[in-house]
Structure 1
Amino acid sequence: MNHAFARSGIALLAAAAMAASAATPEPPTLQATIAALDTAVFDAFNHCADPAQLQAHAAHFAPDVEFYHDTGGVTWTRDAMIANTAKYACGHYTRELAAGSLQVVPVKDFGAIAQGVHRFCRVDTGRCEGEADFTMVWRLRDGQWTITRVLSYGHRPSTATH
């Protein structure tokens, strides 16, 4: 066998393999997936005065979601939680994630837990006057991510400078 030919053939195979792997994007990490979902949930929340956006927001939650709010109490269903969101938040507040605060931990054979800090900003003034810690439990079932539990706690004046 011609060794130069064999070497060039191996080089071509290696180059083809590298090109194929470069063409196939890596699946997103769990952190990136949950970060993107967090953005989607709260983009809809931030525009929930529009009924279609309120429905888009609601679609991220399991029907039996439990929502624990240290100053507002507990709701036991998506319908009750969304009714409170519509009444107290939509058109009044927007939510922003504190930069660098999102932490994501996998839950074996279930999904993930996301924790972080979020700020709430008044729609009328744009001022972010309050913040709180949050924990969300995300379930992955049949390729679909939904939120099954939410804790929003430690509500306090915001330390944001805007």
Structure 2
Amino acid sequence: MDKAFFDAYNSCDMKTQASFYSDEIEFFHDKAGLLKDKATLLSATEKNICGKVTRHLIPNSIEVYPIADYGVIEIGYHWFFNKQEPDEPTKASKFIIFWKKENDTKAIGWKITKVVSLH
């Protein structure tokens, strides 16, 4: 699921990204604060990320913890490459994603309900 979501993120496939996010998304960013609006999150991603930044998972960094009657929590490290600042050094950033398992036949079955992005 991580790969599927971030393939959409890196290719600016906004429709697929939207299908992953819960309507009740909570996105906690250590520098920008808390965002609780799906449309605003998608708009900010399209404006600030698309064509400018790509995300790369640090191999073997993901840990996944099942949460009974909910889904899983994914914890890992990634780095972002900024095409507008190609000579800027990158550093690993920790992330935590809450994935909720849903029985929605119209959707992918897993929704991202919370993200914690730590730089």
TM surpasses 0.5: yes
The code of the aligned residue for 2:10 comes to N
Indicate the SS of the match to 1:99. coil
Rg: which structure is higher?
1
- In the other structure, the counterpart of 1:147 is 112
Q: Greater strand share, 1 or 2? A: 2
Runs of 4+ residues deviating >2 angstroms:
123-128
The code of the aligned residue for 2:9 comes to F
RMSD value over aligned CA atoms? 1.6
Shift of 1:130: 3.9
Of the three residues 29, 38, 43, the one matched with 1:83 is 43
Residues 1-162 of structure 1 mapped to structure 2, 5 A cutoff: 37-48=1-12, 53-124=13-84, 125=86, 129-142=90-103, 144-153=109-118, 155=119
Shift of 1:128: 6.3
Count of residues in Structure 1 that have an aligned counterpart in Structure 2: 114
| Unaligned runs of at least 5 residues, structure 1 | 1-36, 156-162
- Provide TM-score, normalisation by structure 2: 0.88
- Provide TM-score, normalisation by structure 1: 0.66
